[in-house]
């Protein structure tokens, strides 16, 4: 069998994807972030991360808030990915990045669920895509898809995708227009932190 030719993800040409997008409803109460700065939540990013709007200077530019389905996904995506270094057989993470985290939960005025475009499983493959959209280190295609989905219809509150750092869980890129707001922030409990560090082989330095 000939080796598979590496191909880049297709870009979202207008008219080629809108009818193929499949929705999933996510309870707002299930969304969470592990944040060092809970007073600034939700944090809306643009032009930097995987499903950010690449056109930050455009009149219709939007922000994206990244949330997780579980504490494990949030820990892997934020603490380990952003602050960890694998050395000597474990992840070394600065102690402050561990001890100063708060679990942030969210609400939306008058809404209990959000409608997200599903970029996982069969829904992803039906679009002519693969999980490179969640795993590639090059965000050019994923940001283009985020902008295209945002512009396709106001029904879309964001995107569900497979976490690159914890591939048994989902992460969510929530669009600013969703109306997401912080409900509460609670300091990560010592017991929770110890369990997460044990599970992911993390040591404070």
**pLDDT, tens only, 37-47:** 999 999 999 99
Cα–Cα distance for residue pair 17/40, rounded to 1 Å: 35
Query: Which of 7, 20, 37 shows the shortest CA–CA distance to 145?
Result: 20
Look at residue 94 and tell me if it is in a domain.
yes
CA 137 from chain center: how many Å? 14
- Residues in the chain predicted with pLDDT less than 50, given as ranges, are 2-3, 5-6
Look at residue 9 and tell me if it is in a domain.
no
What are the structure tokens assigned to 7, written together?
A: 């191909």
Provide the domain limits for residue 72: 18-204
Look at residue 6 and tell me if it is in a domain.
no
Look at residue 12 and tell me if it is in a domain.
no
Phi, psi of 25 (to 5 degrees): -100, 130
**Tally of domains in the chain:** 1
What does the pLDDT look like over 158-171, one tens digit per residue?
999 999 999 999 99
Look at residue 10 and tell me if it is in a domain.
no
Query: Which of 165, 168, 152 shows the shortest CA–CA distance to 66?
Result: 165
Look at residue 3 and tell me if it is in a domain.
no
Cα–Cα distance for residue pair 158/61, rounded to 1 Å: 14
State the pLDDT at residue 8: 83
Look at residue 1 and tell me if it is in a domain.
no
State the pLDDT at residue 2: 47
Range list of H helices, 79-155: 81-83, 95-99, 121-126, 132-135, 140-152
State the pLDDT at residue 195: 96
pTM of the model: 0.93
Look at residue 2 and tell me if it is in a domain.
no
Phi, psi of 177 (to 5 degrees): -70, -10
Cα–Cα distance for residue pair 159/79, rounded to 1 Å: 22
């Amino acid at each position: 069998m000939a080796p598979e030719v590496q191909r880049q993800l297709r870009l979202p040409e207008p008219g080629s994807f809108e009818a193929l997008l499949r929705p999933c409803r996510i309870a707002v109460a299930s969304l969470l972030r592990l944040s060092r700065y809970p007073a600034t939540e939700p944090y809306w990013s643009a032009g930097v991360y995987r499903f950010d709007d690449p056109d930050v200077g455009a009149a219709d530019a939007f922000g994206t808030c990244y949330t997780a389905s579980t504490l494990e996904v949030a820990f892997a995506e934020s603490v380990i990915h952003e602050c960890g270094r694998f050395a000597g057989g474990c992840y070394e993470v600065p102690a402050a990045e561990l001890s100063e985290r708060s679990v942030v939960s969210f609400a939306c005025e008058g809404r209990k669920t959000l409608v997200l475009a599903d970029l996982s499983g069969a829904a992803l493959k039906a679009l002519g895509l693969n999980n490179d959209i969640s795993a590639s280190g090059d965000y050019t295609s994923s940001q283009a898809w985020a902008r295209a989905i945002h512009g396709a219809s106001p029904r879309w509150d964001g995107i569900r995708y497979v976490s690159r750092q914890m591939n048994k869980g989902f992460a969510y890129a929530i669009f600013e227009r969703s109306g997401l707001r912080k409900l509460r922030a609670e300091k990560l409990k010592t017991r929770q932190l110890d369990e997460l560090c044990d599970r992911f082989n993390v040591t404070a330095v």
